Amino acid sequence: MQAVILVGGEGTRLRPLTSTVPKPVVPLVDRPFISFMLEWLCEHGIDDVIMSCGFLASGVHNVLGDGSAYGVKLRFVEEPDPRGTAGALKFAETMLDERFLMLNGDVLTDIDLSSQIDQHERSGARATLALVPVEDPSAYGLVHLHDDHSVRDFVEKPSSDSIDTNLISAGAYVLERSVLELIEPSRNVSIEREIWPQLIGNGLYGFASDSYWLDIGTPERYLQATFDILEGNVQTSVRERLGDSYLSVSDGAEILGRAIPPAMIGSGAQIAEGAHVGSLVVLGQDVKVGPNAVVERAVILNGTEIADGCVLRDCIVAGGCRIGKDTQVLDGAVLGEGVTVGADNVIAGGARIFPGVSLPDGAIKF
């Protein structure tokens, strides 16, 4: 069976991580983000995947190749201009079979796609939307169902006193090819706002699931996804790599200090004497953590060097950064690729430092 993954967005909310790297291939734990979705699809027998790309499309293709490393056949289609969720699907029409999946590429989930497809077949649906519950549905569009799982209506961003369901669309759809007939070609079309309303009462169904689901659109959610993968809250193959100890240390890593699980330590990484790494930490390849430094609840990507006495907590540091002695990076801060931060700085409060920036000693005290 086929799947179309929409990955055309620029990932602006994830900058500076996406300033130099396309969002689908931003590293998440130990692999490109989108590979978690490819693994999930493969587990449910989907082996033909079309990537609908836009921003930095060649970068996505260069990293993922033909898909053989992930057990699928990958093909790529690049929109000539932004065409919305339905417009992107229409642009790929010539490549699509009679039935296929359409997926939002920003999502980490372990929804049971096989059960969703089975329900779709049994109901004779034209489109079946995966639905998941969320704690605060006021920021989303709610979906009401009839007893037979057909969609009754949608409610966009309801007020708190009018919420009577917590089910929202999970961005995973089983579609019949006939849905493409409703999409006008060569223009920007939203499948959520323009196509689904046409299908209410005419073959639109919902598949409710209580599986893990997270839209990774912000640094906060990127960190949450990392922690959930490390803790095994979402089903991925990373759990096997971590083993019963919840600690993965790659060959060539050197740990003279402490590494507290759950954590993943990349090849060539060095944790100096007196340093404390973990819990909930990913250290990429060749990361160096200096003496008496503390790294907790953080992602530190390949080749970054952290000097003596630093404290990094609840933060993301991209590859190739240099962080000077006794500097603190805290509370949701994000450093882009190749950033240099001198000694005795405090970067916190969700601050974002863009790629290549250099800060001298003592320049920032948030």
Which CATH number is 347's domain given? Answer: 2.160.10.10
Q: What is the mean pLDDT of residues 84-97?
A: 92
Residue finishing a domain among 148, 183, 211: 211
207 and 235 share one domain: no
75 and 201 share one domain: yes
12 and 133 share one domain: yes
Closest alpha carbon to 97 in 46, 131, 57: 46
Q: What are the structure tokens assigned to 5, written together?
A: 């993954």
Residue finishing a domain among 162, 190, 211: 211
Strands 311-317 and 334-335: parallel
Residues 63-76 pLDDT 10s: 888 888 888 999 99
Residue 93 lies in a domain: yes
CA distances from 276 to 285, 291, 354 (A): 18, 9, 27
188 and 228 share one domain: no
**162 pLDDT above the threshold of 70:** no
**347 pLDDT above the threshold of 90:** yes
CATH number, domain of 181, equals 3.90.550.10
**317 pLDDT above the threshold of 90:** yes
What string of DSSP letters covers 321-364? Answer: -EE-TT-EEETT-EE-TT-EE-TT-EE-TT-EE-TT-EE-TT--
Residue 18 lies in a domain: yes
Residue 365 lies in a domain: no
Closest alpha carbon to 7 in 42, 59, 65: 59
Q: What are the structure tokens assigned to 34, written together?
A: 């989108």
The partner residues of 293 in beta bridges, in order of sequence, read none
| Residue 155: per-residue pLDDT | 78
Residue 197 lies in a domain: yes
Q: What are the structure tokens assigned to 9, written together?
A: 């967005």
| Residue 23: per-residue pLDDT | 85
CA 179/CA 97 separation, integer angstroms = 12
pTM, two decimal places? 0.92
| Residue 9: per-residue pLDDT | 72
42 and 163 share one domain: yes
269 and 354 share one domain: yes
192 and 254 share one domain: no
Strands 281-283 and 294-300: parallel
Residue position matching structure tokens 């003279």: 256
Boundaries of domain holding 325: 221-359
| Residue 163: per-residue pLDDT | 66
Residues 39-52 pLDDT 10s: 999 999 999 999 99
28 and 176 share one domain: yes
On whether the CB atoms of residues 3 and 100 are closer than 8 A, the answer is yes
7 and 85 share one domain: yes
93 and 148 share one domain: yes
Residue 366 lies in a domain: no
User: How many domains would you assign to the chain?
Assistant: 2
165 and 271 share one domain: no
CA 20/CA 53 separation, integer angstroms = 16
CA 306/CA 301 separation, integer angstroms = 11
**281 pLDDT above the threshold of 80:** yes
Residue 222, SS3 per DSSP: helix
| Residue 257: per-residue pLDDT | 96
Q: What are the structure tokens assigned to 345, written together?
A: 């700085």
pLDDT band at 158 (very low <50, low <70, confident <90, very high): low
180 and 264 share one domain: no
